[in-house]
Amino acid sequence: MTLKRPHAIAAGHPETATAAAQILQQGGNAYDAILAAMMMSFVAEPLLASPGGGGFLLAAGPGQEPKLLDFFSDTPLLPVSQIDPEAVDFYPIMGDFGTRQQEFHIGRAAAAVPGVPAGIFTLHDKLCSMDLPDIAAPAIQAAQQGLVVNHQQAYVAMILKPIIEASAEARTLFSGLVSGQQWRNLQLAEFLTTLSSSTADWFYQGPVAATVCQQEQGLLTAADFAQYRCDIRQPLQLSINQHTLYTNPLPSSGGYLIVEQLRRLKSRHDELAVLEAMQHADDLKRHRMAEVCRGTTHISVADQDGNLASLTLSNGEGNGHVVGDYGFMMNNFLGEEDINPDGFFAWSEPQRLRSMMSPTVIMHPERQFAMGTGGSNRIKSALFQVINHLVHGGQILKHAIEAPRMHFENGHLDVEPGFAAPALKAMQKQCPIHTEWRNHNLYFGGVNAVQTGTTTAAVADFRRHGCGMVV
């Protein structure tokens, strides 16, 4: 008789994790659960995840080869020579992060082809065991009844205020994202009800695509939607100390940079070696390698049979325009400097956009992990440090995630509090230009991870007020 293990879930919001738990308790597998959590994230984390965005899912477990579902966004088919930036809806706004401000570009022309719905149907077709309407039920109910807005989502709304106030429809839809208030999204509930009872064609060749394509001063056409497909890729693989790591392969850059940092460590795993590996990755990143947008969330699930699912989603910051009466905003990936390294509207041919998002699975004879994080270009450094603590430091999952982090970029080192004085002195000598943060901060990512095997654990990063639960 096969011994059943507890389920484990880690997500960016308690309701996102609870949706996965409900499905697992109904007999669903890890993939049913993570799909339910994905759709709940549209309700509970609406400025980070959306049907108008894109993402990646890494699946692994007993009796199956690990696989990576790539449903990130495509650039439009329209030749760039025919795009007049002055004639389309595309303009800059500033996001206020307190001590830092950052420019984003939004508008209808900032939207790339959305991949999330294709990811939903591909995941359901390939790996799920339950009917899609049953998987969608928790999210539909939450959208109808409403959720109390927590501090984290209210903070995101404050940062992105210029975006959610960019159009009358967006102001109406997102006006209730205030901490402590009940927020409902009846339009999204109806959208999810119809989507879960339909096929991908309803979205990509039906009324939703038509609504987007009819918007003036945008770039997407019916042909963009009709040809979009979720790609299934073989994950990038690395063996370390009896651990086998699987992560997001090229054309995305995050997994490649994480693997290169781990390879760079060789026989040294101390803080200075970690910094040197980060400096190496920063050099590699400059060679036309892209980074992911900031509006990102991550979900990890392990079920009682040992199946692992790791999912990272993004909507960028949103493009400021709600799609018809469907209750969600399109992405602004074409307005992200990080994932357009050659400049805006400068792709040479239609292509899948690159990303730093890196859902990851680690397999070991006694323990297995699923993990990932949001955090823009900090994704590669946050995951690298957590993995180093697990496979070289032998730390338990909770300590690996809660350990202080550093991040090196463009000659500048950011350091969280908590490093020992000798290590900090050595890092400062290696990199004189640095900032010592007074507190742990979401700037350094939000790693949400689960563990199964001889021990079951679920840890959501305190830096982003996530939720981990063992069911």
Residue 269: burial class (beta carbons within 10 Å; 0-12, 13-18, 19+): middle
376 vs 385: CA distance, rounded Å: 15
Is 370 in contact with 310 (CB distance < 8 Å)?
yes
**Active-site residue among 122, 247, 296, 373?**
296
Helix, strand, coil percentages for the chain (3-state, nearest 5):
40, 20, 40
Catalytic-residue membership of 296: yes
DSSP class of residue 378 equals G
The torsion angles phi and psi of 415, rounded to 5 degrees, stand at: -130, 130
What is the distance between the alpha carbons of residues 446 and 340, in angstroms, rounded to a whole number?
A: 24
Residue 401 CB contacts under 8 Å (≥ 6 apart), including other chains: 386, 447, 449, 459, 461
At 446, list the tokens.
């939000």
Cα 445 to Cα 174: distance, rounded to the nearest angstrom = 25
Is residue 419 a contact partner of residue 398, using CB atoms and an 8 Å limit?
no
Beta-sheet strand order (sheet of 360-363): 236-240, 243-247, 360-363, 367-372, 448-453, 457-460
- Maximum CA extent, the chain: 67
Q: At CA 453, angle to CA 119 and CA 375, rounded to 5?
A: 45
Q: DSSP characters for 39-65? A: HHHHHHSTTT--TTSEEEEEEEETTEE
Rounded-to-10 torsion of CA 108, 113, 116, 119: 170
C-alpha count within 13 angstroms, C-beta hemisphere, residue 17: 24
54 DSSP β-pair partners: 314
> d(Cα 296, Cα 357) in Å, to the nearest integer?
9
Q: Which residues are catalytic?
A: 296
